[in-house]
Amino acid sequence: MQRISAITPYLPILLLLLAVTTLPSCASRRFARQAEKLEDAGFYEMAAERYLQSFNANRNNIDAATGLRRTGQRTLEAKAARVTQAWNEGDDRETVYRYLDALNWHQRIRATGIDLAMPAQARSHYEDARPRFLDRSFEEARLLLEEERFSRAEAIFSEIKRIDPSYRDVDQHMRISRSEPLYRDGVEYYNSGYYRRAYYTFSMLINNHGNYKDARELQQDALDKGMLTIAVADFENTTGHRTIHNTLRREIVSQLSGTVNPFIRVVDDRNIDAFLREQERAAALGREMEVGGLLAARTILTARVTNFEVSGGGMQRTERRGYLREVVKVRDNVTREESERTVYHKVTYHEFRRANSTRGSIEYQLSSTETGTILLSGKADLNPRDEIYYAVFDGDLKNLVPGHWEYRDRESPKDVIRDEPGDIRNLRSLLDARQTIKPIEALREELVKGLASHVSQAVNQFDPEK
């Protein structure tokens, strides 16, 4: 009895360990029983698969190991017989693939530690058929390559490489079958003036298959010809903030310069004033501009800040009337029994509200330096703001109840106690609300970055080839 009492506290752990140990064994026995039935019915390959599952579930199951060796060998011999059958029929392809199937089965069983005997005749048939199959496949793929049927040629070259990775120059031919379609697409885009599409096509080719023919040179040339070089002019400012246009211009230049778009480049703008004068003169004469050489930029970005407001609101404080809930014990004068009763004491608390806000607007356009044509135009209006609204009570917050009362020292028909879950929840949210407002300086910076982001994203997403 003492021994049983000593192990009683550990019984749950022992039972759990026993259950964990038993689970794989149960699964192993179940698979083994299924395998035996399949073997008795003559389904040896299916039986071998079940014996394999049984053995993997419990490597100590001797019956599973014996059954796997027995049915596994019969399955391997059946697969080898199919190799011989294909070889007798003169089907080199089937001979190769049936042997690879047999070899795969042999390797799966060997991974368990059980080594089956591969029939030597199957290996001999495979070695005889494989060279003929690879030679014919290679010649077929080469013809397809000459006929520019690249995807079909690639499929056959890939098949050859899976069977014999070092077969002749299969790597080179497979690279051609994969690279040539991309190369031709890139060249077609390039010749059609779609330099961005050409650049990305050549990039895909180079990243996936390395340099091919003159793809790298064409990629760079497409980048140069498709580059959207931008000069950013001085911005106009119609607001009361005298320097905001310069702040916005610097932020837009910074964002454009930091873009990952390879076709966007901000260039030297020292000759912008000369360009603008020439543009105005050309417009007055009613002719197109011919000053492409005046600037290194192909486009010019101009903008006008039409609104920029910053408003810091003052704190608004409002006194609210409510109740402090208290549970008190009272004694019945007759029965002398105690009970609890909720009483409400009139109190005041305060609500605070404050809002900071900004508002800004910018109009912009991107124009060609060669023709003066407006390529892109738009407007951005943003209104970053922040508001705080919270309550403060110098007392027991958990028992504060919203409501209203007219007089502190006496009751009134207008007195209201809102001690419902929804009312309490709303008051709690005010008592727990954030009390620190986002500073005006932070909102101003947010507005500047937001307006600049709108402009820079519009320019970044602009595609002159669409």
pLDDT in tens, the chain (466 residues): 444 455 455 545 544 444 444 456 788 889 888 988 998 898 989 999 998 999 999 988 998 999 999 999 999 999 999 999 999 999 999 999 999 999 999 999 999 999 999 999 999 999 999 999 999 999 999 999 999 999 999 999 999 999 999 999 999 999 999 999 999 999 999 999 999 999 999 999 999 999 999 999 999 999 999 999 999 999 999 999 999 999 999 999 999 999 999 999 998 665 555 555 655 665 566 555 444 444 468 899 999 999 999 999 999 999 999 999 999 998 888 888 888 899 999 999 999 999 999 999 999 999 998 888 999 999 999 999 999 999 999 999 999 999 999 999 999 999 999 999 999 999 999 999 999 999 999 999 999 999 999 999 999 999 999 8
Q: Are 246 and 235 in contact (CB under 8 A)?
A: yes
| Cα separation, 251 vs 231, whole angstroms | 14
| Nearest Cα to Cα of residue 262 among 196, 349, 210 | 196
Q: Are 19 and 49 in contact (CB under 8 A)?
A: no
Q: pTM of the predicted model, to two decimals?
A: 0.69
pLDDT at 333: 81
Contacts of 338 (CB under 8 A, 6+ apart): 329, 330, 331, 332
pLDDT at 237: 97
Distance separating the N- and C-terminal Cα atoms of the chain = 90
Q: Are 276 and 289 in contact (CB under 8 A)?
A: no
Angle between helices 215-226 and 195-209 (to 10 degrees): 150
pLDDT at 276: 58
